[in-house]
Amino acid sequence: MEGRPRALLERGLCSAVDAQWLMMMMMMMEGRDCLKSYDEVYSGLFDEKGHRKDGREMKEARAMYARGNFVSQAKGSSYIEMNKTKVVCSVFAPREISHQNEFSTVGQLFCEVKFAPFSCHLQRQPHVPDAEEKALSVALRKALEPTVCCHLFANFQIDIFVYILENDGACLAAAITAAGLALANGAVPMYDIITASSIAIIGDKMFIDPTEREEHLALSSPETKQNHGVITMSRMHGLKQIADFRQIGSLDVDCILKATDILEEECNKIVPKIQMILVRYINNGIIQQKKLAEAAKEREAALKIKMKEWSSSIIKISD
């Protein structure tokens, strides 16, 4: 890869400074393949056997690891890991909306998505939210609004913070699923569990749960008129409702409808995992409570015995 700027330099097409700069840029974006042609990048997505680079089938989503109670300070929290995409979400208890003149009859969600400075190839500004983060925050809020019983906490807002530790594609889907889990973990009243899944489409190939490279290529410009794009869908499983649907790129109708079916299935696949985690936490909670109750009983019994001893001893002394 380093040959190209050098070749340009030798042919006199760019100055030495430019060549150096180009080389630096290329090193910075080693994964970005900006100087490769479209076809090269495209074929780079597959290995010899026609599988995707990380060994998955086209229709195979990444294995997901999820857990709740990840952040001890938050009311509810969760952590989701899909191979290299890692997301933390914390939810805080409802609080009164500050700086607002009018009374709002429904509660509001405040969502903030942040990328860790080390989460992607390009360095991010740690403090100011950039355009992508703002867009993701809005998308997250839109996806969560239908599932939270907002009317139960009028004039209050729930803060939801998502921190993307590592981004390797499908981070919005991961963020929505994580936020859904965190809200349930924090015992916020909800209509249903919300799960999300994403798909990247290049030509007739559909990459379920795309990595960053696949996502990037699906959004960049092919020369031909083929379909390309990314769809993220979030779904409420029990109510059979789509909470949010966002597509970007250029796709024809049949393709979108086909992708919708696939995404629906994918979303449904995640639900049992989330349910299992929640049930486990509730079970754990119940067991813990029982234990605590028993321990309290024991302590009380011990205390009673002690009290008896004491009272008898006091009586003795008074005698």
197-224: b (≥16 Cβ within 10 Å) or e: bbbbbbeebbbbbbbbbbbbbbeeebee
247 forms part of the interface with another protein (CB under 8 A) = yes
Binding of another protein by 229 (CB under 8 A): yes
Reduced to 3 states, what is the DSSP secondary structure of residue 68?
Answer: strand
Query: Tokens for 221?
Result: 């410009």
Task: Measure the CA angle with vertex 215, ends 255 and 81; round to 5°.
Answer: 110
Among 227, 237, 266, 270, binds another protein (CB under 8 A): 227
Binding residue (CB under 8 A) for another protein from 88, 140, 150, 188: 150
205 binds another protein (CB under 8 A): no
Number of residues that bind another protein (CB under 8 A): 46
Does 269 engage in binding with another protein (CB under 8 A)?
Answer: no
Q: How far is the CB of 249 from another protein (least distance, A)?
A: 5
- Residue numbers 98-137 binding another protein by CB under 8 A: 101, 134-135
Task: Work out whether the CA dihedral 63, 163, 144, 217 comes out positive or negative.
Answer: negative
Q: How far is the CB of 292 from another protein (least distance, A)?
A: 39
Q: Quote the least distance from Cβ 221 to another protein, whole Å.
A: 4
* 7 contacts 26 by C-beta, under 8 angstroms: no
Smaller CB separation from another protein, 25 or 307? 25
Residue 252 binding another protein, by CB under 8 A: yes
Taking the C-alpha atoms of residue 123 and residue 194, their distance in angstroms, rounded to an integer, is 31
CA dist., res. 96 & res. 160, Å (int): 15
Interface with another protein includes 251 (CB under 8 A)? Answer: yes
> Residue 213's closest CA among 226, 196, 230?
230
| Residue 97 binds another protein, judged by CB under 8 A | no
What are the φ/ψ torsions at residue 254 (nearest 5 degrees)?
A: -60, -40
- Judged by CB under 8 A, the stretch of 83-91, 171-179, 229-237, 279-287 that binds another protein is 229-237
> Minimal distance in Å, beta carbon 83 to another protein?
24
Beta-bridge partner residues of 159: 110
253-318 and 171-185 helices, crossing angle to 10°: 30
Rounded least distance, CB 196 to another protein, Å: 13
The binding site for another protein (CB under 8 A) comprises 14-15, 17-18, 25, 29, 32, 34, 101, 134-135, 138, 142, 145-147, 150, 219-222, 225, 227-229, 231, 236, 239-253, 256-257, 260, 264
